[in-house]
Amino acid sequence: MEKKFDNYEDCEKAVGLTPGTLPDVSMLPEKYRKSLIGDFQATIVTEAHNDGWEPDFSNKNQPKYSVWPEIKADKKRPTGFGFSSSGYADSFTVTFVGSRHLLKSPELAIHVLEQFPEIYQAHLLLK
């Protein structure tokens, strides 16, 4: 059975961090800080839920699942944010999703997205 965490503190504990541990980004421009902290937190959430599993990029038959939150339009982002693409050609492969926060099952990806949407939004956006 896959481990599922309902709060970030439990994810920190699962990977051996003291709760509240964050990288020091104080020397960076403020507009980058939230995104960099979000990336760190997304890494912790992903690692905790994968429980030792790591994607094998040499194995094209191994399923790998990514979290991609829906970003709602607001005053800062009046058009919202969309993510879609399609294409077809013989021997054509493309991806628009990064490889660092992959999960081992679709159930975990859905759980993580539902439990930690603010972390993944912060990771993807400069706010």
pLDDT tens digits, 38-49: 999 999 999 999
Would you call 6 exposed, middle or buried from its count of C-beta atoms within 10 A (0-12, 13-18, 19+)? exposed
pLDDT in tens, 62-94: 999 988 776 666 676 555 545 444 555 544 444
CA dihedral 48, 100, 106, 10 (to 10 degrees): 20
From CA 39, how far away is CA 6, in angstroms rounded?
A: 18
pLDDT in tens, 99-127: 678 999 999 999 999 999 889 888 877 66
Residue 94 has what pLDDT?
45
Claim: this prediction has a pTM higher than 0.85: no
Contacts of the segment 76-79: beta carbons below 8 A, 24+ positions apart? 76/127, 77/125
